[in-house]
A and B are shown apart, each in its own frame.
Chain A
Amino acid sequence: MVEFENPSGLTVSAASPEASICSTGNQTAPSVAPPRKKRSLPGMPDPDAEVIALSPKTLMATNRFVCEICSKGFQRDQNLQLHRRGHNLPWKLKQRTSSEIRKRVYVCPEVSCVHHDPSRALGDLTGIKKHFCRKHGEKKWKCERCSKKYAVQSDWKAHMKTCGTREYRCDCGTLFSRRDSFITHRAFCDALAQESERSHQTLVVASTEGGLKVQVVPPPPPPPASCSPPPPHTPSTGVLSPVLSIQSSELPENPSGILQQQGATGLTTTTAAATASGSSTSSGTVSSSSGVFASIFASSAPAGVSQSSQSPSSYTDLICAIGSDRAVAEPMSLSLSSSLYLSNNSSSLFPPSEQDHHRHYAQAPQPALSATALLQKAAQMGATGSNSSFLRGLGLAMPSSSYHQDNSSTGTASQWNSDGKQENNVVASGLGLGPPGSDLMMGPSSLFGNKPTTLDLLGLGLGSGGGSSGGFEAFFTSIGGNLDVAAAAAAASYGGVSSGGGD
């Protein structure tokens, strides 16, 4: 092994097939080996460390450690040492040379690579091997389901565990099991079209409500997303995979999306690490604005997590239960037409877009009932399919005075309502069951913007015990009632195309 010094102290050469070792950095006296190996920060190798440059051949060689006595090769240094003991070496030669105690960092042999520079060396041999394979190697491992290719077998194995099990959720609330349909849907989704209008509204909200759980428009349901296991952020993620994964379903120019992500992690009891990884992922996306939000979230993350302990765990349980019910009922469906609230025979003529919105509005109010009780009630409500008179029968208070919804949705709501009752209109607009397309997105924005008012509207304030249960029942019923009425209206019109409720 050749060891040479150089005035610049930074030269690294790989002239010989064997490893060449150079010293870098300052030439202070070699310190005593630290009692414990410190793990240096990624990207900032220990300046006292030895830089080792291996040729690609040596790097990829499986038996890198060679016994000097019998030239037997070993994969690991420990194995070599164990073997050397068998040679009964005299004590002097048994000792490892002092230089070997020094921390080693490795550079990538690929000249054009950023890690070729010793200042960006990686501290782990396995790490540099994997890096070299991933970046500069041939991708020999391929996933059958999605045709994704990998150069490192362990990456491929990790992918195979999650491929096909992962679900994607669009901002509009629709769930996808297939990545390609998700991408195509996303490109045409109304949520995409609306985002630029929302962005500066939500900006204001973001800064004031750090621990906001229920999100501003677009209001996708973060809680269900967090019920499924958070997708592993594989090291070799491209630009898109963090963006399109469940937790981070937002885009560089959608700060509100990043809000949702924060909300998601805040609601569940995921660790701060997950939150941090989420924020760091979002800050990694291509936009300067996201960095701002990342810092907001980083600071409010603890607040979010602590606040989440207040929110009823039954809420998330309920959502999880609903989510799993849906998943069982129709594994391949997108619009999840077999939702709790609708009877199936109305789903064909009735525009399914309503279902999407009902789903995520259902998550907005926070019930005080237990999950099972709510589900039972919902099942009963769905079975009866009652109409608007039920609402009045419940004596649901409609504080229309305190709640000013934009009335563009009222017009369409009345279209659905055969009696044209004011209460139903308010409820409908309160639920955001307005006309599709842009107005549906309008609904929730004011809905969630006036969060306390909304909860009171439906009598679902956290403090009110008895009132909340009735309110929640009515909530389910009103959906069923409105939809049944609307289904009848839709059936009457031409082929369902020109129905007021949808496409």
Chain B
Amino acid sequence: MERTLFTPKEARYPNNQSNGHYQLEMQSTNQPQSSHTSTSRSSDSGEPCGDGKWASKLLRECARAISEKDSTKIHHLLWMLNELASPYGDCDQKLASYFLQALFCKATESGQRCFKTLTSVAEKSHSFDSARKLILKFQEVSPWTTFGHVASNGAILESLEGESKLHIIDISDTLCTQWPTLLEALATRNDETPHLKLTVVVTASIVRSVMKEISQRMEKFARLMGVPFEFNVVSGLKSLGELTKEALGVQEDEAIAVNCIGALRKIEVEERGDVVRMLSSLQPRVVTVVEEEADFSSSKTDFVKCFEECLRFYTLYFEMLEESFIPTSNERLMLERECSRSMVRVLACEDEKGHDGDCERRERGSQWSERLKEVFSPVGFSDDCVDDVKALLKRYRTGWSHVLTQGDDSSGIYLTWKDEAVVWASAWKP
């Protein structure tokens, strides 16, 4: 018999205008069960726990039910989550809301469509001004992104010391907010200000639309700093796997640095080795890699494991956002919404060839290190660089710290939030 997971009477599509609530109406519970018969209808899963962490319980159960294809349970849990979730509530409610969307898509196999909708909505509401405001505000209240910037800039400056023609290849999604401080350092530190060529590689369509404005600002700012500057954008790539040496415009006499911030996770898992090899073919002096510390690579094989990891990571992220921003912050809301796209992408979209949009399968620092060690060798961060990181973290609220890795398991620095590693930064050379 066919697998009837879920046939709602009325399932309106996720409405992303003013509220992300689902309007689901469940059928009566007489559904033909597939192989697994779930006997346990645990009644306690509906009650909010004493410690308030009901969302993770419910969500985990739901994920398990989905992987077991227990449709009764799935119904029940989705319904309950829907009742309790809200993108405007506390952390639990928010997590419930966004994960509910992803789980729903997974259960109904509508992940692709949902992702496309979410992406097009985001594109329409984004502009240069809003994107700029969002990221600058985020960087002001949290070192989540600036940590990677400071570590990478330090490594780049040190490895390119003394060179007169610099070429930095920037594969990141932080809209060039990393570069003003580097430009300032180039202008003030060295006696001879070198020539800097910056090539930015963008894949996300949201980022592409604002690159024009960004390039103007960067050029103006470099002029202001007195740094000879050239700015290029490589867009139009469907995925980073298509990137080639020629497309980057690399020249012989340049000293090259490759800066990958949140970039490697955007590559489809199978293509990652190839891209790393391509990067090494550019013969860079240094490759800086910054990634969020989470392992979403097991989605195909073990959904529940991947889900638990997702839950863990985004719980940390949402809590961090809640403690960093003011309660009524618009920016936090927008950042949370961006997470919802990642969640749907990771949990509910099967990796198909030619899939639109970026992959979001993060891996841990140790995993990336394994990949990178095939072609590169790690470069430790200098004491100065680590001091810069320390000074940076001091400027933010408490809770942030860093950990230097020892041994060759994974080299680099970890940013920790309440003693949990959240971001990993590393430097490599051929």
Contact = CB atoms under 8 A, between A and B. Distances in A.
B394 A184 contact: no
Nearest to A139: B384
A71 interface: no
Interface in B130-150: 130, 132-133, 136, 139-140, 146, 150
B391 A146 contact: yes
B391 A348 contact: no
A187 B218 contact: yes
Contacts of B181: 180, 183-184
Contacts of A239: 187-188, 225-226
Given A187-B221, A192-B224, A181 B139 contact: yes
B113 interface: no
Contacts of A195: 220
Interface stretch (B66-74, B322-330, B403-411): B322-330
Contacts of A498: 125
Contacts, number: 102
Interface stretch (A21-29, A54-62, A489-497): A489-497
Interface size of B as a range? 35 or more
Contacts of B188: 238-241
B127 interface: yes
Contacts of B224: 192, 243, 251-253
B177 interface: yes
A503 B18 contact: no
Contacts of B392: 180
Contacts of A134: none
B358 interface: no
Pick the most buried of A238, A349, A437, A503: most chain B CB atoms within 10 A of its CB.
A503
A23 B373 CA distance: 64
A252 B226 contact: yes
Interface residues of A, number: 43
B226 A494 contact: no
B223 interface: yes
B387 A183 contact: no
Say whether chain B's binding surface is mostly helix, strand, loop, or mixed.
helix
Interface string A153-191: 000000000000000000000000010110111111000
Nearest to B125: A497
Given A181-B139, A251-B224, A187 B391 contact: no
Contacts of A149: 384
Interface in A476-503: 494-498, 502-503
A142 interface: yes
B352 interface: no
Nearest to A181: B140
A186 B136 CA distance: 11
A436 interface: yes
A222 to B, nearest CB: 19
B184 A183 contact: yes
A348 B299 CA distance: 38
B391 to A, nearest CB: 5
Interface string A235-253: 0001111010000000111
20 contacts: A145-B394, A178-B395, A180-B150, A181-B139, A187-B179, A187-B180, A188-B177, A192-B220, A192-B224, A195-B220, A238-B187, A241-B188, A252-B224, A348-B326, A348-B330, A349-B328, A349-B330, A494-B125, A495-B333, A498-B125
**Closest 8 interchain pairs by CB?**
A348-B328, A238-B188, A187-B180, A187-B221, A503-B130, A503-B129, A251-B224, A286-B226
Given A147-B387, A497-B130, 5 more contacts: A185-B136, A192-B220, A239-B225, A240-B225, A349-B328
